[in-house]
Amino acid sequence: AQSVSQHNHHVILSEAASLELGCNYSYGGTVNLFWYVQYPGQHLQLLLKYFSGDPLVKGIKGFEAEFIKSKFSFNLRKPSVQWSDTAEYFCAVNRMDSSYKLIFGSGTRLLVRP
């Protein structure tokens, strides 16, 4: 069965540190890729998305992600985190030959210490 893996379940960083969250998926066909964020007490919000074209995509709040097809990966990065980035981050995949459902990873909880 297809799956999405987020290997880091909990990450603790100090402000200004660099961030990289891993995401790998198990499906070999064409995919759309997403990162969603859930801030404390808020609902899921889209951070960034990849549909096609340039594999390096930029999202809101200084986040970016790189799609590496050969590695089935879509890692999320931010050069310098802020306390306000404390949240849970979810990677999601949509198979293009299937319905529009999203398959989510289990999430990574990020705590940024001031």
* Nearer of residues 54 and 100 to other proteins, judged by Cβ: 100
**Which residue, 16 or 60, is less far from other proteins as judged by CB?**
60
Vertex 70 angle, CA 2 and 29, to 5°? 40
For residue 21, how many C-alpha atoms fall within 13 Å in the half-sphere facing its CB? 32
Candidate segments 12-20, 54-62, 65-73, 100-108, binder of other proteins by CB under 8 A: 100-108
Single out the residue of 24, 107, 110, 112 in contact with other proteins (rule: CB under 8 A): 107
Residue closer to other proteins, measured from CB, 17 or 102: 102
Nearest-approach distance from CB 82 to other proteins, in angstroms:
23
CA distances (Å), origin 71, targets 13, 19, 25, 101, 112: 26, 19, 9, 22, 28
